[in-house]
Amino acid sequence: MTLQVSMVRIALLACGSEYSGIEKEIENAAKQVNAAIIFPEVAIEDVETIEEEFGLKVASPDLKLMMARAKSVVDGRTKVDAVFVATCFRCAEAAIVRGEVRRYIYEHSSIPVISYSFTERTTAGTLLTRMEALTTTARRKSLLAREAQTGLTAGIDSGSTTTKAVVMKDNRIVGFGWVPTTKVIESAESAYDKALEEAGVSRNDIEALGTTGYGRFLVG
């Protein structure tokens, strides 16, 4: 099953990731969920005045840059869909700033943000779950903000033993499909087609489609 997944632009606000080699792992994890890492542009004066904006004094120039990049995102000077904040687990000052940056973004924008404390052993594989959660939230932000489901949407739960699909219209289930899981993609196709048939709609009518479960990476 081929599903169109939009590219998510993720601002990387990090300290130490370039020197430790973790930056490459972050980029690789992002690629696996169809996301691109963006480095917000800032001016020197932004870095020089950022401590006053945050009400926080820091010694590290890299942490000041991270804070200035957060402001660039919040101000809309850098257009992104999500933010990934990362610092080394060994640095106490970085841990404080990481928390403040995350709070700042939460309080001044509606952009999804995740923070992470990396080690020298961090790999793309260990980052993948967080990247998946971040990009999923970014892609479905408008849907998640709804108090009730509206429009025509669908979901596929690709489990290890059964595969289920559902079609919803204006907060009501209008189609459901269930099949035993044999081959992940074929089972998802079958369950989805059953749900669409019961709902009396086609794939082109579906406004949004979500996937979960054991086979979500293959299906989605």
The mean pLDDT values, 10 residues at a time, for the chain of 220 residues are 69 86 94 95 94 94 96 96 94 94 94 92 91 87 65 91 93 93 93 96 92 77
Identify whether 197 is part of a domain. Answer: yes
Backbone region of residue 150 per phi and psi (left: phi > 0; alpha: psi in -120 to 50; beta: other values): beta
Q: Is residue 2 part of a domain?
A: no
Burial of 170 (0-12, 13-18, 19+ CB in 10 A): exposed
- Which residue among 114, 143, 172 closes a domain? 143
* Res 2: pLDDT: 43
pLDDT of residue 129: 86
d(CA 69, CA 83): 10
Q: Are residues 64 and 150 both part of a single domain?
A: no
15 and 110 fall within a common domain: yes
Q: Of the residues 143, 165, 197, which one is the last residue of a structural domain?
A: 143
For residues 123 and 164, state if they share a domain: no
Would you say residue 47 lies in a domain? yes
Residues 69 and 40 in one domain: yes
Query: Is the pTM for the entire model greater than 0.75?
Result: no
174 and 195: one domain?
Answer: yes
Residue 90, number of CB atoms within 10 A of its CB: 13
* 32 shares a domain with 106: yes
Q: Same structural domain for residues 137 and 152?
A: no
Residue 112 lies in a domain: yes
What's residue 147's pLDDT? 61
Q: Looking at the structure, do residues 43 and 98 belong to the same domain, yes or no?
A: yes
The label of the residue with tokens 């089972």 reads 187
| Backbone region of residue 7 per phi and psi (left: phi > 0; alpha: psi in -120 to 50; beta: other values) | beta
CATH of the domain at 163: 3.30.420.40
Contact 218, 185 (CB under 8 A): yes
Is 3 part of a structural domain of the chain? no
* Structural domain for 213, as ranges: 146-219
Among 75, 110, 143, the domain-final residue is 143
Within a domain: 65: yes
